[in-house]
Amino acid sequence: MSPNDYLALLMFAVACGALMYGYGVAFTLGGVSLVFAAIGVFTGQFDASIFLNLPGRVFPLITRDILMAVPLFVFMGVMLEKSRIAEDLLEAMGDLFGNLRGGLGISVILVGALLAASTGIVGATVVTMGLLSLPTMLKRGYAPSLASGSIAASGTLGQIIPPSIVLVILGDQLSNAYQEAQRSHGLTGEGVVSVGDLFAGALLPGLILVMLYALYIAVVAILKPKMAPATGWDKDVHMGRFIRRTLAAMLPPLLLIMAVLGSILSGYATPTRGAALGALGAILLAGYKLADDNASIRRLIVFATLGLIALIAVDLTGVDMRFNQDGWAINERLAVTAALAFSGLALLGTAAALIYLKGHGQLADVSRSTMYITSMVFVILIGATMFSLVFRGFGGDELVGRMLSSAPGGAVGALILVMIVMFFLGFFLDFIEITFVIVPLVAPPLMAMGMDPIWLGILMALNLQTSFLTPPFGFALFYLRGVAPPEVTTTALYKGVIPFIGIQIFVILLVAFFPEIATSLPQIMSG
């Protein structure tokens, strides 16, 4: 190993150590790498002119179309959360399944999977779920270990279930890595990897996880009824009203998330556009939910929603409605007129919802949170870019490539090595940082060894998700501990997640040995 290699490795170690002190992650990554670059320049090991590339690398990051999906999905998630739609959904599910043993636990898993999908930042999701559902579960007699375990696990589900922002970022990084592998690692073969592909690939493994989680709770509820009791319905409940209330709480957010996902997976919209439509839907839902004192605004929003649905229905009939065409047939004229009217309705309702939300402060609130999360993500991206630039300046990428190719066991050995490293990094860093720093380094050589990029991405995502659940350092546990009431002991928390870790490992192995679980759906989608 050359002195440069030592510097590169030392820089990595120092950065990990410095992060522990708790200064902003982005600035620590960037700053530490610059300190090492200075040392390198001083000892003549490092060429500072490499930094001239820096603006040219940073600028495209913040203007890349696909990454615009991040603020949009965050906006959608924060809007659903702040307007308490998420809370209602959980309550409604709990009521619906409450008379089954383990029913509440299963609804927590389902809601976690659905809602976490739109935010996907481990900390935020686990904290929200913990605050919302942990007290309810304990009140209804769930064992603290089972309750906290299922919340921590379902909080991390949001990373793997599309549309999640971590998949957007991972997909972007993987597609860069794939091009890199084709360019400089001699990978032959056509094709690109898109975020949509990764969404499609993650769908099946994600659903398997949800099913197994729910199955586990059901089994516990049957074997040890005391741990997950049935809550039962109130006797004097009016059945029709109950069903209506439950449907009203459940259907709209369910439909919204399914519509967003469907439009992306079917190729109707790019992830960015799907996310924008999702955010628009969230504005309408929140406006309807919160404007319960203002019937006319509610009516406008309902019309807008119907207008949007009708618009899509008209479009799906396949009538040609492009403005710049010759020879308008009569049905085309009709369709365009109707579609324009529907668009007008939608615009009007959106305006009404926005004005209401602005007047009552929620819009400012949601926008501010979204701005914070977005800036945080992208500033980390900038810091990680500096870090990898310096790491490459020291020849660290070649070092990683050499280490991987000399790993015992060939490609499989290299993959296992990467997985183990990522697993341990997951104790200290969030998904986003790991994706930005590690994936560009390890993914090109691995892909050059012939690994399917989607398969690799899903394995990484599952692996990190498991890491966040693993005691004693798992992120999810740490955040849940922060919001859990004192009667939930840390031991109970640790005991509660162990079965879920088992499920995770099982699914990782399943995907590892049967890559079709991850790769078949993207192949079908792309035809």
Partner 1 sequence: MVKWLLPTMVVSIAFGVIALSIFGQAWTKFDESAIYFHATVILLGSAATLLAGQHVRVDIFHAKMPPKSKALVDIVGFYALLIPFCIILIWNAQGFITLAWSSFEGSDESDGIRGVFIQKTCMSLFAVMMLAQGLSIAGRAALFMRGNLAPDLPNNIEDPFGPEHLESGL
Give me the least distance between CB of 120 and partner 1, in Å please.
14
Give me the least distance between CB of 260 and partner 1, in Å please.
11
DSSP string of 54-85? HHHHHHHHHH-TGGGHHHHHHHHHHHHHHTTH
Among left, alpha and beta (phi > 0; psi -120 to 50; other), residue 439 is alpha
- Token pair, residue 428, equals 């200290």
Give me the least distance between CB of 75 and partner 1, in Å please.
6
Phi, psi of 452 (to 5 degrees): -70, 130
Give me the least distance between CB of 169 and partner 1, in Å please.
14
Nearer to partner 1, 445 or 474 (CB): 474
Give me the least distance between CB of 106 and partner 1, in Å please.
32
- Token pair, residue 148, equals 């906290």
Residue 464 CB partners (closer than 8 Å, separation 6+): 159, 422, 423, 426, 431, 434
Nearer to partner 1, 235 or 322 (CB): 322
Nearer to partner 1, 80 or 446 (CB): 80
Nearer to partner 1, 94 or 383 (CB): 383
Give me the least distance between CB of 217 and partner 1, in Å please.
29
Nearer to partner 1, 47 or 65 (CB): 65
Query: What DSSP character marks residue 429?
Result: S
From the list 419, 426, 468, 423, the residue with the least C-alpha distance to 446 is 419
Nearer to partner 1, 242 or 268 (CB): 268
Quote the CA–CA distance of 292 and 368 in Å, as a whole number: 24
Q: Which helix (H) or strand (E) holds 403?
A: helix 396-405
Give me the least distance between CB of 497 and partner 1, in Å please.
17
Nearer to partner 1, 349 or 522 (CB): 349
Give me the least distance between CB of 371 and partner 1, in Å please.
4
Nearer to partner 1, 175 or 350 (CB): 350
DSSP string of 421-476? HHHHHTTTS-HHHHHHHHHHHHHHHHHHTT--HHHHHHHHHHHHHHHHHSTTT-HH
The identity of residue 66, as a single letter, is: I
Quote the CA–CA distance of 414 and 437 in Å, as a whole number: 18
- Token pair, residue 303, equals 């019309």
Tokens 């860093």 sit on residue: 429
Dihedral sign for Cα atoms in the order 370, 152, 13, 462: negative
